[in-house]
Amino acid sequence: MIAVERELPAARLETRPSRTRLVAPRRRNTVWTSRVSAALLVVAMLSSLGGGGLLDFASAYTLQARAQAMHDRWIFMRANGIPDEDLAALESEWAASQSSTVVGAAGIFWVPGGAETIGRWQTESDAIWSRDLTQFRSGALLAAQGLHTALGEETYAQRKSRLDAITSASTPLDFATLRNDWNLEARLVPIDRRIALAAAGVAGQADQATKMGIRSDPAADLLARAGAYGQLGPLDRMAHAELLTRNVQTLHKDLQGRIDAATVTQQNFQHTSDESSIASLYGIDTSGFDARIASDRIQYAAALTPAQFNAVTADLQQVSAAADHQIYVVLSQTHIVAGVPLIYQDHPLSCEEAATSMALAHQGVNVSQDQILGEIGADLRSMYVDPSGRVRWGNPYETFVGNVNGSESNYTGFGTYYPPLVRVAKAHGATVLAYGSMSAATIYARVIAGHPVVAFATWDWRWHPRRDYLSFDGQWIPWIGPVYASHVYTVVGVSPSQVLVNDPIRGQYWISKGAFEAGYSDFNEAIVFA
């Protein structure tokens, strides 16, 4: 007898009863061995008799082919997501059935009951597929809902894309893949947000660093990596998330340290520059200070660590201390500007013109009070009180207000402030170094540096409450009249405690710095001449 083995196509399996029933079907492996032994005995007997028609060879081969197709289906099921353990029992039965073959077919297929076994395998396989498909689909739906919850807010299109993916899935593997991806995405949501938030913080710090003129290395490279991270798939993002998070957080802390240190350094730059500027006002040579400040700016721009910024700050503090010391030395001495004549005023209200004539004479520019008055011009319109009770008068920032021979107390004359005086001085070629609002300390510094200063103050060197009036052209004018009178002086000397003034009415005298500052504080306006 020749063994025949055929491979049949995997088609839909239909159970067909065996033609010959020798013994009742048994499902135990221990029974299969006896079945095989019985089949071998029958075959041997028939062979010895020259053959016979008792056995159906086609049926045995058909059952073997169906069994093989079923086994191939299990391979397909595992490849499409069915766990190995779900098919373990069936695989065990298959292995046992194939352990004894007769003429190319398993022994159990030569005896009655083989078709029922394959039918059971078919039923159990269908049940496993259906059960796992349902289970994995449920898992995918739960994962989709979990991701939706984790995201919090998302567009309808985003939500629909997941529902469409579930609709398109057809195998447990499809659903398992969706489930795993969405569960991973849900885990990545807080991680991605932390990275995005930290990256935004670094971006803000980088912008701040740029505005502060400091380096933000390696912010640009790290921000590029953070941008690329957002384009990666879930698995790649999970693989890169920890390192990227650590790097972003480290740089964020590092940049904040630099910015904090640089902020202090910038404050010291400002303070030191101010000290150097003040020193220059006192006539102190500040070239050495300025050179060190310039060098510190170069070091500042190259700094990458708080320690480097702190080193720049320390040097700036040394420069500031040195400048402050030289200022202290200068202030401890008495300084008088030479070459400033004392000129008395020619008219009751021409004190500002007389003070300006003194300061101009220091430069060799001789202009009389009347010439200055003529070039300034005068607004001779009378004062009046409007319905709101406000005094309305001329604008001393534009011209002389009232009659120069009049009186402030009876509103017949007032005077002029610094802009017209500066205009006339410049018209005569004089050098004016500064004018307008300035502190008493600035006046001291200018005088110590050798520059006379025309200062607007009160007549009695005391502070008085202001009664500002509204000019005809709508500008509020600093004014203490008509009860108290203002006056203009030329400051020509400073000592550690006093100020030397040329008073166009009372002559030259020293007054305390306290008195000078009290009278000057009502106006805080002055003109510094070269």
Q: What is the pLDDT of residues 478-487, one digit of tens each?
A: 999 999 999 9
367 and 265, same structural domain? Answer: no
DSSP characters for 316-347? Answer: HHHHHHHHHHHHHHHHTS-EE-TT------SS
179 and 51, same structural domain? Answer: no
From 170, 189, 214, give the residue that closes a domain.
170
Q: Where residue 422 sits, what CATH number does that domain have?
A: 3.90.70.10
Please give the average per-residue pLDDT across 404-428, as a whole number.
97
7 and 113, same structural domain? Answer: yes
Q: What is the pLDDT of residues 9-60, one digit of tens each?
A: 333 333 333 333 333 333 444 444 444 444 443 444 344 334 444 455 679 9
365 and 474, same structural domain? Answer: yes
SS3 80: coil
**Structurally, how many domains does the chain consist of?**
3
Question: How far apart, in whole angstroms, are the C-alpha atoms of residue 74 and residue 68?
Answer: 10
177 and 150, same structural domain? Answer: no
| Bridge partners, residue 413, by sequence | 402
Q: Give residue for tokens 């190259």.
A: 302
518 and 490, same structural domain? Answer: yes
Q: Give residue for tokens 């079945």.
A: 35
Pick from 36-45, 153-162, 358-367, 432-441: least confident: 36-45
pLDDT, position 103: 87
Residue 380: domain span: 336-529
Q: What is the mean pLDDT of the chain?
A: 90
Statement: residue 188 has pLDDT above 50: yes
Q: Is 329 exposed, middle or buried (0-12, 13-18, 19+ CB in 10 A)?
A: exposed
- Among the listed residues 263, 190, 191, 258, the one whose alpha carbon sits nearest the alpha carbon of residue 218: 258
From 170, 199, 231, give the residue that closes a domain.
170
pLDDT, position 56: 54
DSSP 430: -
214 and 253, same structural domain? Answer: yes
pLDDT, position 57: 67
Statement: residue 108 has pLDDT above 60: yes
302 and 397, same structural domain? Answer: no
Sign of CA dihedral 393, 394, 397, 400: negative
Q: Is 509 exposed, middle or buried (0-12, 13-18, 19+ CB in 10 A)?
A: exposed
CB crowding 418-441: b at 16 or more within 10 Å, else e: bbbbbebbeeeebebebbeebebe
196 and 59, same structural domain? Answer: no
**E-strand spans in 405-452?**
413-415, 432-437
34 and 15, same structural domain? Answer: yes
247 and 321, same structural domain? Answer: yes
